[in-house]
């Protein structure tokens, strides 16, 4: 999809809301804020996300984000109007569950995403499972591959670069393609401080995130003849040490760097009896298929789901499915 098509699809007199998945990450924030800055010139546009994660406050447009608490107070008025809702970086609408009613009541919905598991839930779907990130797709949308830089500003470049770097693990994951580098090169041409962005995202750790990592490594286990590496952080530990979910963000990718195992799974008990499971695979395993068994999804090599039960029950259920997936390939 190109910007012109998107604008043709969005009536001039209707408000456009941009949202993304719960616990917005670098790609979700970068894409939402990047597109916001483009669209805001043509349509009245508002970004709605669950929260404003402090570590991304350098992104232009950050302070204009409406969090769920703020939008809740305006919903009755919004429902009286005609509006379009653009959902970004979300494989299915359960990923925007807290604002699902906003989706249901929208005059038109647009789904912009790169997840393998995307089920084309929008009225208009711009889905590219080969794209490294939603941010790469926004780069395509504004015409960078046709050498059209009219929409690009330094601020937008910082947003899109942040998302590309986040979802590719700094151009390292197999979702990185020639086009990813090309788009990144055009963004770098806007004179962005890419060293600062990469360092901020990947080489700066809070004390609490180091505590979370220590706990995760202390509890690491190799199972299934050392083919699977798992670890868990319980809700009790989170509360005792004052850790938050974002402190645990780099745990699963760290596990995946261990040589030997082919898949890693990180179990984070976000609320008592409810585990957010993150999977990373470094070979032929399709962890998206495993996540889907539990109502989740994602990409072939990086996916997630939420599973309810005790620590033992959840780990047992997930390991069984991982084992089945392993056997499918052997």
Residues of this chain that interact with ligand 5GP (CB under 6 A) are 21, 91-92, 95, 115, 117, 252, 278, 296-299, 302-306
143-178 burial, b if ≥16 CB within 10 A, otherwise e?
bbeeeeeebbeeebbbbbbbbbbbbbbeeebebbee
For 28, 36, 79, 188, 263, the CA distances from 151, given in Å and listed in that order, are: 20, 12, 31, 15, 41
303 binds, among ligand 5GP, Mn ion, none (CB under 5 to 8 A by kind): ligand 5GP
Residue whose tokens read 């769920």: 68
Identity of the residue, 52 or 95, whose beta carbon is nearer to ligand 5GP in the bound complex: 95
Identity of the residue, 19 or 133, whose beta carbon is nearer to Mn ion in the bound complex: 133
CB nearest Mn ion: which residue? 27
In whole angstroms, give the CA distance from residue 244 to residue 71: 23
305 binds, among Mn ion, ligand 5GP, none (CB under 5 to 8 A by kind): ligand 5GP
Tokens representing residue 193 in the block: 């401080």
Q: Interface residues with Mn ion (CB under 5 A)?
A: 27, 89, 133, 167
| 30, 48 contact by CB (below 8 A) | no
We find the least distance from the C-beta atom of residue 150 to ligand 5GP, in angstroms, to be: 31
Identity of the residue, 117 or 133, whose beta carbon is nearer to Mn ion in the bound complex: 133
We find the least distance from the C-beta atom of residue 305 to ligand 5GP, in angstroms, to be: 5
We find the least distance from the C-beta atom of residue 303 to ligand 5GP, in angstroms, to be: 4
We find the least distance from the C-beta atom of residue 206 to ligand 5GP, in angstroms, to be: 18
125 binds, among ligand 5GP, Mn ion, none (CB under 5 to 8 A by kind): none
| 67, 50 contact by CB (below 8 A) | yes
301 binds, among ligand 5GP, Mn ion, none (CB under 5 to 8 A by kind): none
Identity of the residue, 46 or 133, whose beta carbon is nearer to ligand 5GP in the bound complex: 133
Burial class (CB in 10 A: 0-12, 13-18, 19+), 261: buried
Burial class (CB in 10 A: 0-12, 13-18, 19+), 199: exposed
We find the least distance from the C-beta atom of residue 114 to Mn ion, in angstroms, to be: 6
We find the least distance from the C-beta atom of residue 88 to ligand 5GP, in angstroms, to be: 11
What are the strands of the beta sheet with 108-113, ordered from one edge?
Answer: 45-48, 15-20, 83-88, 108-113, 124-127
Identity of the residue, 89 or 158, whose beta carbon is nearer to Mn ion in the bound complex: 89
Identity of the residue, 92 or 167, whose beta carbon is nearer to Mn ion in the bound complex: 167
């Amino acid at each position: 999809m190109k910007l012109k098509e998107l604008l043709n699809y969005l009536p001039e007199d209707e408000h456009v809301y941009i949202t993304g998945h719960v616990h917005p990450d670098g790609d979700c924030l970068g894409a939402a804020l990047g597109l916001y800055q483009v669209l805001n010139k043509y349509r009245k546009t508002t970004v709605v996300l669950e929260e404003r994660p402090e570590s991304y406050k350098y992104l232009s447009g950050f302070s204009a984000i409406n969090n769920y608490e703020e939008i809740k107070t305006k919903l009755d008025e919004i429902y009286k109007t005609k509006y379009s809702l653009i959902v970004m970086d979300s494989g299915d609408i359960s990923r925007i569950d807290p604002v699902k009613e906003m989706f249901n009541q929208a005059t038109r919905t647009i789904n912009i995403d790169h997840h393998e598991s995307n089920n084309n839930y929008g009225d208009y779907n711009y889905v590219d499972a080969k794209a490294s990130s939603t941010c790469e797709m926004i780069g395509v949308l504004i015409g960078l591959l046709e050498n059209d830089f009219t929409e690009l500003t330094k601020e937008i470049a910082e947003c899109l670069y942040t998302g590309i770097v986040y979802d590719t693990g700094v151009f390292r994951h197999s979702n990185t393609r020639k086009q990813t580098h090309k788009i990144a090169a055009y963004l770098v041409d806007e004179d962005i401080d890419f060293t600062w962005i990469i360092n901020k995202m990947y080489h700066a750790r809070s004390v609490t995130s180091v505590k979370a990592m220590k706990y995760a490594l202390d509890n690491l286990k190799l199972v299934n003849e050392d083919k699977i590496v798992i670890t868990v952080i319980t809700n009790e530990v989170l509360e005792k040490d004052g850790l938050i979910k974002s402190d645990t963000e780099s745990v699963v990718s760290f596990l995946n760097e261990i040589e030997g195992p082919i898949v890693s799974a990180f179990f984070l008990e976000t609320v008592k009896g409810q585990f957010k499971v993150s999977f990373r695979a470094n070979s032929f395993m399709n962890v998206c298929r495993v996540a889907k068994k539990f109502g989740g999804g994602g990409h072939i090599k990086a996916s997630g789901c939420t599973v309810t039960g005790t620590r033992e029950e959840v780990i047992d259920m997930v390991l069984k499915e991982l084992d089945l997936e392993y056997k499918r390939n052997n």
